[in-house]
Structure 1
């Protein structure tokens, strides 16, 4: 109240903007703040490849996944 708006004026009276109060840490573990998602751009791939590397090669990961994953059943 009584201060400038945090966003530029637009035709739509309801406008979204990134706020430091609505952030979380990047899901890859880099500790960078993220607003509006779970990962910084490209960091989802970084996290995915780190997970694959914990198992071994891509082929070993796929074998492990195929032998571990259980398809959910519809209730």
Structure 2
């Protein structure tokens, strides 16, 4: 994902106390520290859930890639998203390929966030099939394959047994007592 920062501007004090991305300014100017560029690039962007499949963000400002970021997490606020991650340093292949160069997309789009595929985005599907993916962690449908492989191995293939186990042990578990308000609990 390429993020193109415009000139630095004041965004107000209302964002200064945001727990995920506290800031008073957005955009870029040449006097900014790495931390300020990082915060300016993180968001809040009007992007859809597809953005959450991206592994890296390249920060374009003043006609040059200023920073590469490995994306680790996302937050959503209304129709906007912001990410957090790690600034990549020299020696990382994404940093070394892009930082200091021009816009790798050669796009004339005015929209600041742009997606494009690069061989450095490629990874192996997490299900173990060996297929190459360019976004996210899974080939299409293989996340479901991985879930059902585990349900077969640990719950005899029964989705109902898995759901019952998850309801009893997962983050929404009521405790040792069965929740009498849950549909079917008394049946």
Q: TM-score, normalized by length of structure 1? A: 0.63
Gaps of 5+ in 1: 1-6
SS in 2 for 1:49: helix
Q: Which has the larger radius of gyration?
A: 2
Cα offset for 1:17?
A: 2.9
More helix by share: 1
Counterpart of 1:3 in structure 2 is: none
Separation in 2, partners of 1:25, 1:10: 32
Distance 1:53-1:21 versus aligned 2 partners, 3 A rule:
same
Q: Does 2:123 align with 1:24?
A: yes
Separation in 2, partners of 1:35, 1:64: 34
Gaps of 5+ in 2: 1-104, 173-187
Cα offset for 1:62?
A: 1.0
1:2-50 Cα offsets, whole Å, 9 max, x none, are xxxxx8x8766x8643222211111212121111111111111111211
Distance 1:11-1:70 versus aligned 2 partners, 3 A rule:
closer
Counterpart of 1:42 in structure 2 is: 141
Instruction: Please give the residue correspondences for 1:1-75 in structure 2 after superposition, counting only pairs within 5 Å.
Output: 16-54=115-153, 55-56=155-156, 57-71=158-172
